[in-house]
Amino acid sequence: VEREFRSTMIHQAYIEPAAATATWSSGGTLTVHSSTQGSFTMRGQIAELLKMPESRIRVIPTEVGGAFGGKINTYVEVPSALLSRKSGRPVKTVMERHEVFTSTGPTSGAVMRIKMAADSGGRLVAATAELCYEAGAFPGSPADSAASNIFAVYDIPAGRIDGYDVVVNKPRTTPYRAPGLTNAVWAAEQVVDEIATRLNMDPVALRSANCAKEGTKTISGMTHKSIGCREVLEALQATEHYKSALTGPNRGRGVAVGHWGNWGAQSSAAISVNFDGTVSLVSGSVDLTGTRTSLAMIAADVLGIPLDSVSAIVGDTASVGYTQVTAGSRTTTATSRAVTIAAEEVLIQMKKRAAAVWEVPSDKVIYQDGAFQAQGHSLTFAELAGELESTGGPVAGVGTIDVTDWGGVIGAHIADVEVDPETGKVKVIRYSVVQDVGRAIHPGQIEGQMHGGVAQGIGWALYEGYQWDAEGHVLNANLLDYKLPTALDIPFIETHIVEVPYPAHPLGIRGVGEVPIVHPAAAVANAIHAATGARVTELPMTPGRVREAGRSV
């Protein structure tokens, strides 16, 4: 089966626009409060543009009102800094909404040609993809991440993927949650579904028969460690949603599976013990999704103390070690390792303090069930913390990590839709998500990520897209004309967590933030086909396009 698909540029559509406040001191140092995904990355960009040492720049991250990849680059920080230097006063700059849409960078539109072959038994034997991604006015599209992941969920023995970074007369693109993959999987999963139809196979059975597993080498050259593809599809088949019949006219059900690779990179964290037995945790990762709570839970678990004894904050570039941006599903997976190292260092020091109190060798001190013990002596963590002043002073641990291993995340989605045969309008009436998370540290946070990814993915599928005039100007650069899904457009989202521990992580954690946005457009497209018999090959799948595709059936 060979098909060509097209998608347009869309924006991350974060509600809070880009904003920063800069203060240039009389001593020549610069302090910037920024709505950023990465304090240290922002500091490096500012230093490069202003030609000044990083040590003279302090970036303090604010609470971020949405980002999704769109707040990694600097936009208003440098103008604010220059105006502050000129005026001698703090300067705050906030972008107008039309500036956000036209100047901060959407994600790429694309032309994608997908070709896949299967034998009569449903075994996928070959696949090719030609991915032509718009970069905007300068190079830098996510064609590489799309190419790395588009077929990674399957065990396909032969294939080729060509990615093209195409410069066009449009705004320069920036990342958007699982960069490049939502539209790529939308294309590929429609071809997989068409193969299932031609072979008269159940779509889930076809996907299960071709699941990647531990040791599978992907077409893009990566080798999977433990991967939960089969477990995810088994869990999907066990859901009440999958097992229930879809009744009523003009309705259809679609499924899609997809993969996203976790990014590791550098993280730092520090833990200090307070004399009352509580601890303070400072991490360098900007909190976009509630990761402070997850990191605090990990610290509490390693230290054997109650969660409410851990106070977690996000540090700035002057208070914690270098940490990469919050992106790439890396925060809980990578920064948790730095937190674990810091907590383990705290325990080593605390054992030495207990040994000093009891005058015993430190290697005789054990820690279990929240208490240090040796030769009949026992002190709880809090009791020993109260002895720190008299046994050498404060105790603190620092953890740094550079994660280089590669690991994948698998998800599977089911969408039920109803299509108006007269207008082509599509309504999503039921939706379920199944995802392998490795180990669920904070299930509520994970479910929130699933909900958000699906909502944004339905936006990709049915509503969102830049509109252009003949000269390349954006015509819908505002939240009135740029159509976003609302709560009325999103059904209740059923979530199902699967835990197949990731072996390279000490706690088995996989990243969860990006993969939920990968599947919705594909699942909705396959549901539209089930309802109408038509394949829609351009995003967004607007009523006009759905109606036109239906006429050709």
The domain segmentation of the chain, as residue ranges, is 2-9+106-213+227-262+405-551, 19-94, 265-403
Q: What number of CA atoms fall less than 13 Å from residue 12's CA on the CB side?
A: 26
What are the start-end ranges of the E strands in 35-178?
57-61, 91-94, 110-118, 124-136, 159-167
Q: In this structure, is the dihedral angle defined by the CA atoms of residues 337, 339, 344 and 349, taken in order, positive or negative?
A: positive
- Three-class DSSP category at 527: helix
Q: Are 419 and 480 in contact (CB under 8 A)?
A: no
254, 229, 209, 145: which is closest to 411 by C-alpha? 229
Q: Are 109 and 141 in contact (CB under 8 A)?
A: no
Q: Which CATH architecture does the domain made up of 19-94 adopt? A: 2-Layer Sandwich (3.30)
* The model's pTM: 0.95
pLDDT string in tens for the chain (553-residue length): 999 999 999 999 999 999 999 999 999 999 999 999 999 999 999 999 999 999 999 999 999 999 999 999 999 999 999 999 999 999 999 999 999 999 998 999 999 999 999 999 999 999 999 999 999 999 999 999 999 999 999 999 999 999 999 999 999 999 999 999 999 999 999 999 999 999 999 999 999 999 999 999 999 999 998 899 999 999 999 999 999 999 999 999 999 999 999 888 999 999 999 999 999 999 999 999 999 999 999 999 999 999 999 999 999 999 999 999 999 899 999 999 999 999 999 999 999 999 999 999 999 999 998 999 999 999 999 999 999 999 999 999 999 999 988 788 999 999 999 999 999 999 999 999 999 999 999 999 999 999 999 999 999 999 999 999 988 889 999 999 999 999 999 999 999 999 999 998 999 999 999 999 999 999 999 999 999 999 999 999 999 999 999 998 8
Equal fold, 2-9+106-213+227-262+405-551 vs 265-403:
yes
DSSP 107: B
Would you state the pLDDT for residue 263? 85
Would you state the pLDDT for residue 552? 85
What phi and psi, each to the nearest 5 degrees, are found at residue 231? -65, -40
132 in the Ramachandran plot: left (φ > 0), alpha (ψ -120 to 50) or beta?
beta
265-403, what's its fold? Aldehyde Oxidoreductase; domain 4 (3.30.365)
Would you state the pLDDT for residue 298? 97
Would you state the pLDDT for residue 472? 84
Would you state the pLDDT for residue 406? 74
How far CA 94 is from CA of 16, 86, 99, 165, 381, in Å, comes to 9, 18, 10, 31, 46
In the CATH hierarchy, which top-level class contains the domain 2-9+106-213+227-262+405-551? alpha beta
Would you state the pLDDT for residue 379? 97
CA 194 distance to own-chain centroid: 29
